[in-house]
Amino acid sequence: MQNLRRRKPDRPEEVTRPEKARGERKGDGEDGSKKKGNGKRWSCIDNCCWLIGLICSIWWLLLFLYKAMPSSLPQYVTEAITGPLPDPPGEKLRKEGLNAAHPVIFVPGIVTAGLELWEGKPCAEDLFRKRLWGGTFGDVYKRPLCWVEHMSLNNETGLDPIGIRVRSVPGLVAADYFAPGYFVWAVLIANLARIGYEEKNMHMASYDWRLSFQHTEVRDHTLSRMKSTIELMVATNGGKKAVIVPHSMGVLYFLHFMKWVEAPAPMGGGGGSDWCAKHIKAVMNIGGPFLGVPKAVPGLLSAEARDIAVARAIAPGVLDNDIFHLQTLQHVMRMTRTWDATMSMIPKGGNAIWGDLDWSPEEGYSPSKKKKDENLTVSRNNEVGPEDPKRKKVNYGRMISFGNDVAEASQSDIKRIDFRGAVKGSNVANTTCRDVWTEYHDMGVGGVKAVADYKAYTADDVLDLLHFVAPKMMARGDAQFSYGIADDLNDLKYQHYKYWSNPLETKLPDAPEMEIFSLYGVGIPTERAYVYRVTPYADCSIPFQINISANVDEEGSCLRDGVFLVDGDETVPVLSSGYMCAKGWRGKTKYNPSGIQTYIREYDHAPPANFLEGRGTQSGAHVDIMGNFALIEDVMRVAAGQTGKDLGGDRVYSDIFKWAEKINLKL
């Protein structure tokens, strides 16, 4: 009988097995949660793993089907939905009988050209000649702090840090695609190839866009190599002059080049005063920030623009907190403040161009205003109807306002305390931040308060603001760039290279047969002025942020997410892209003494009708415009031998001529 008795368990867990088994049969835990096989709880991690696996499986299936389908199928589907597609510009011009004529030189802008590693620290020993910028950006995720270190320049010299050499990628592949599937120059290159262009008459003048323009020559001899390449291509193409096509900051870079190439050595290239007249047919500037971009100011002040500010609001804390030991915006600021080229895009011309506390050229702009007819060509005497008197005045001249009430108040109601003599360093915050917090660490609470107490900053004030918050950065910038307006261009000081990329402080070359085009998109709200707020001064945070909560709900408002918007290409306002060709260089002026012909060609933005159209063939956006068929056709016609008059002269949709007339400069 004793043998038939259940043996008393020695371990307590044996008592629970029958109970556990009964619990499994019920299928529910005591807390009512579901269980899955072998008594394991179906957790959130399981759900996430299954979801990721499902997404990956679907992705690979779609990718397989895409690779397996006939190459003509996507076009067939697109045409079935949207109708027959127009011929690409290259095919259209080939049918017209146009062929390659003048050699073409592309000059990429900031961030769109690839950079590769030639020497690095141990953390990057397997990355020799691999792209650190452009391509897949895989190493950003694998080793972010190592990547930031190698993409940064020396904060004192603006050149290579010790033991690191990052250089521009050579050839057309440097900027044909920024990342897989994201074109920059590829569409233009492909269309030029249709009329006979290839590498013997088409060249990408890539350079390290992080460096100041003169430093690209000091370190890499990039300007000298561009000079030699243009001379060679002109000589090997029957003496036909080159057509230069710069984009974005490349516009300023080539403006610097035109002065450098004619200036005597050692500061210049020694080409002589007629070099440009002998070698350049036309300069076709795409999206040129001739007078700078307001967007550069928040980039240098708080490492953000409108898109970053919106992302910060959607995911609060992600960009500001120490996530995986990576304080994102602080590291971005530490890196980008070593890129001297960013300072080339600080607004130029001061209040005379951009306006003061109560005036700006773009007063009365309405983002909902009806566009002019798509095919309308407007002369420089274009007349625009009266402004709407009921519309609330926007003070675009206040490039930065601390508080929406300051942005809207009358000048007499703004009580400002000058920040320029404020004492820095009182009550310094967390001292563990020096590796990520650059020069804000030295400002202290007193310096931050002084900046906010000044209330409103015009273009003139912004320069002093940047000197106050980032003196080391601006000391380098002052040695490389200038932002003023020349009183007397014959003054010998303007022979220094720091003035050469500012169209308001330099002359165009003596080349009356050369043409200059300004090609840019319009019809997209573009950043022009900002509403800021002071953030809590702790935990290494950047003390200033765009105040995304500043909004006006009424229809047609220019204020969205703390940013005042104006007409442009989403990055560069019309005023910056168009003023020089509309007025500053129009005819014989002190900036254009030989009377080089200038033309404005605007492209009214039309987004793609559906996702099958990709980024669209009528886009006016700052980078997407590189795939705009009308722009590509204009460039190709000039390359094939036509002139600005053959294109039809100016084509204008914006109010650029009206705004240019409001700017009172002696020309």
The mean pLDDT value for 520-526 works out to 97
The answer to whether 176 and 192 are in contact (CB under 8 A) is: no
Whether residue 341 has pLDDT greater than 80: yes
| Digit-coded pLDDT (tens) for 165-208 | 999 999 999 999 998 889 999 999 999 999 999 999 999 999 99
Model pLDDT, residue 437: 56
The mean pLDDT value for 509-537 works out to 94
The mean pLDDT value for 460-471 works out to 95
Residue 116's identity, in one-letter code, is E
More confident residue, 364 or 286: 286
The mean pLDDT value for 401-416 works out to 92
Model pLDDT, residue 26: 44
More confident residue, 639 or 433: 639
Residue 330's identity, in one-letter code, is Q
Model pLDDT, residue 257: 98
| Digit-coded pLDDT (tens) for 86-139 | 789 999 999 999 999 999 999 999 999 999 999 999 999 899 999 999 988 877
Whether residue 298 has pLDDT greater than 60: yes
The mean pLDDT value for 313-336 works out to 63
Among residues 168, 248, 302, 518, the one annotated as catalytic is 248
More confident residue, 321 or 348: 348
Separation between Cα atoms, residue 105 and residue 284, nearest integer Å = 10
Q: What percent of the chain has pLDDT over 70?
A: 79
Task: Mark 126-142 as b/e (b = at least 16 C-beta within 10 Å).
Answer: ebeeebbbbbeeebeee
Which of 277, 258, 282, 248 minimizes the C-alpha distance to 110? 248
Helix or strand or coil: residue 244?
strand
Whether residue 140 has pLDDT greater than 80: no
Model pLDDT, residue 651: 98
Secondary structure, 3-state, 376-423: CCCCCCCCCCCCCCCCCCCCCCCCEEECHHHHHCCHHHCCCCCCCCCC
Confidence at 23, pLDDT banded by 50, 70, 90: very low
Q: What is the CA radius of gyration of the chain?
A: 29
Separation between Cα atoms, residue 363 and residue 367, nearest integer Å = 12
The mean pLDDT value for 329-344 works out to 90
Among residues 340, 518, 622, 655, the one annotated as catalytic is 622
Check residue 595 and give left, alpha or beta (phi > 0: left; psi -120 to 50: alpha). left
Task: Mark 622-650 as b/e (b = at least 16 C-beta within 10 Å).
Answer: bbbbbbbbbbbbbbbbbbbeeebeebebb
Mean residue pLDDT of the chain comes to 85
Model pLDDT, residue 655: 97
The mean pLDDT value for 597-626 works out to 90
Model pLDDT, residue 376: 46
Whether residue 16 has pLDDT greater than 60: no
Which of 463, 498, 502 minimizes the C-alpha distance to 479? 498
Confidence at 142, pLDDT banded by 50, 70, 90: confident
569 labelled catalytic: yes
Among residues 340, 569, 624, 634, the one annotated as catalytic is 569
| Digit-coded pLDDT (tens) for 208-218 | 999 999 999 99
| Digit-coded pLDDT (tens) for 32-41 | 444 444 555 6
Q: What percent of the chain has pLDDT over 90?
A: 65
Model pLDDT, residue 34: 45
The answer to whether 626 and 185 are in contact (CB under 8 A) is: yes
| Digit-coded pLDDT (tens) for 558-587 | 998 899 999 999 999 999 999 999 999 999
Which of 15-29, 291-305, 434-448, 645-659 is predicted least confidently?
15-29
**Maximal C-alpha separation, the chain:** 122
248 labelled catalytic: yes
* Element counts in the chain: helices (H) and strands (E): 23, 19
User: What is the DSSP code (8-state) at residue 551?
Assistant: -
| Digit-coded pLDDT (tens) for 51-67 | 777 887 887 787 677 66
The answer to whether 91 and 194 are in contact (CB under 8 A) is: yes
Model pLDDT, residue 36: 45
User: What is the DSSP code (8-state) at residue 565?
Assistant: E
The mean pLDDT value for 504-528 works out to 97
**Would you state the structure tokens that stand for residue 625, as one six-digit string?**
């415009």
Task: Mark 111-123 as b/e (b = at least 16 C-beta within 10 Å).
Answer: bbbbbbbeebeee
**Would you state the structure tokens that stand for residue 290, as one six-digit string?**
């001739």
| Digit-coded pLDDT (tens) for 220-250 | 999 999 999 999 999 999 999 999 999 999 9
Model pLDDT, residue 524: 96
Q: What phi, psi does 552 have (nearest 5°)?
A: -125, 120
The mean pLDDT value for 253-272 works out to 97
For every residue of 422-456, DSSP letters joined together read PPP-TT---TT-TTT-GGGGGTHHHHHHHHHHT-E
Element holding 598 (H helix, E strand): strand 597-604
Report the predicted TM-score, pTM, of the whole model to 2 decimal places: 0.86
